[in-house]
Amino acid sequence: MEDARLVQDFLGGNHQAFNTLVSRWQGKIHHFAYRYFASSDDAAEITQKTFIKAYQKLDTLDDVNKFSSWLYRIANNLCLDELKRVGRKRATSYETLKVAPQTETASSADSKVLRNEGLVLLHKALLQLPNDQRVVVIMKEYEGLTFPEIAEILDEPINTVKSRMYYGLRALKKTFDSWNINKEVFNYE
C-alpha cells in the first residue's frame, strides 16, 4: 500500500495505518539522524520525536503524496533544533568515536574492522561539515534522494542544494586529504 493511501486511511480513523507508516519509515529516519549525529542514542531520540510530531500534525499535510518529503523535513528540523539546544559541541564530539589501528595487510577477519574504521572516519568527516552541507550530502549520498526531493524537503532552490552538495563533497575530500586518507581505506572486501 502506498504512503498516500496509508495517510488517508489514518486521517479517516484507521490508526493501524500510522503504525504501518512508522514500520516503513522508522529505519530510514533513524539512518538519517544517525548520519547527522553519529550517535545511536541521538538518532533514536530524533526518530521517536519525528514520529510523535508526524502523528500530531499529519492532518496539516497539504499533499498526501509528499509524505516522505514532509517526514524528512520534520526529522531535519528536529536535528537542527537539537543542535541549537545543546550546541554544536555535541554534534562535533567525534573524539568519542574510536578508530582501530590500521594494518598493512588485512585478512578476511580484519575486513570488518577496516569497514568499521572507514565508517568512523566518514562520520568524523561528516561532522566537520557545516550543517547545511552535511544534510544535503547525507540526503543525496546515503538516503538516495534526488536533488528535487532534497530541495523540496529543505525548501531551497535546486541550485542551492546542488551547490551545497558540491561544497560539502569538496570539504570532505579536503578533510580526507588532510588526514592522509585515500580511497583505499574505504575499498574493503
Q: Does pLDDT of 123 surpass 70?
A: yes
Q: Give the Cα separation of 38 and 111 in Å (integer).
A: 21
pLDDT of residue 117: 73
Burial 134-171 (b: 16+ CB within 10 A, else e): bbbbbbbbebebeeebbbbbbeeeeeebeebbebbbeb
More confident residue, 165 or 180: 165
pLDDT band at residue 96 under the 50/70/90 scheme: very low
pLDDT of residue 104: 43
Q: Does pLDDT of 135 surpass 80?
A: yes
pLDDT band at residue 24 under the 50/70/90 scheme: very high
Maximum pairwise Cα distance, the chain: 60
Q: Which of 99-113, 143-157, 159-173 has the lowest mean pLDDT?
A: 99-113
Instruction: Give one DSSP letter per residue of 102-159, joined into a string.
Output: P-SS--GGGHHHHHHHHHHHHHHHHHTS-HHHHHHHIIIIIS---HHHHHHHHT--HH
pTM as predicted:
0.77
In the chain, list all ranges with CATH 1.10.10.10. 95-189
Q: Give the Cα separation of 178 and 160 in Å (integer).
A: 27
In the chain, list all ranges with CATH 1.10.1740.10. 1-91
Q: Does pLDDT of 93 surpass 90?
A: no
Question: Domain 1-91 adopts which CATH fold?
Answer: Rna Polymerase Sigma Factor; Chain: A (1.10.1740)
Give the Cβ contact number of residue 95 at 10 Å: 7
Question: Domain 95-189 adopts which CATH fold?
Answer: Arc Repressor Mutant, subunit A (1.10.10)
* CB-CB contact of 31 with 142 (8 Å): yes
pLDDT band at residue 189 under the 50/70/90 scheme: very low
